[in-house]
Amino acid sequence: MASIERTAYPRFPRLLTTLDLQRFFSPTPDELGWVDKPARGTTQRLALMVQLKCFQYLHHFAAVDQIPPEVPRATPRNRPLEVPAPASARKVS
């Protein structure tokens, strides 16, 4: 029987290795340039890039709560997309 990651409705594996993150979720220079056009802010650029890479991996858009936290961090060191703090960690004044 095929693993759940290889079925018609693929999901993220329980463990994404560093190699998987580099191979599947690191944006190319073309993708980084493309994200700059429609997205205005850092948060929007990050969200668009994460959804793009998830779509390429899963072949469908992923719900935000299903995306492993490692995926937004899999960006090139020379031009990182800022990962905002989760809402629960932000101070409310």
Residue 5 lies in a domain: no
Residue 31 lies in a domain: yes
Residue 62 lies in a domain: yes
Residue 19 lies in a domain: yes
Q: What is the pLDDT of residue 50?
A: 92
- pLDDT, tens only, 22-74: 899 988 889 988 998 888 888 888 889 999 999 999 999 999 999 998 898 87
The domain total for the chain is 1
Structural domain of residue 62, as residue ranges?
11-75
| Two tokens, residue 39 | 């997205």
Q: What is the pLDDT of residue 84?
A: 58
Q: What is the pLDDT of residue 88?
A: 60
Q: How far apart are CA 10 and CA 24, in angstroms?
A: 14
Residue 89 lies in a domain: no
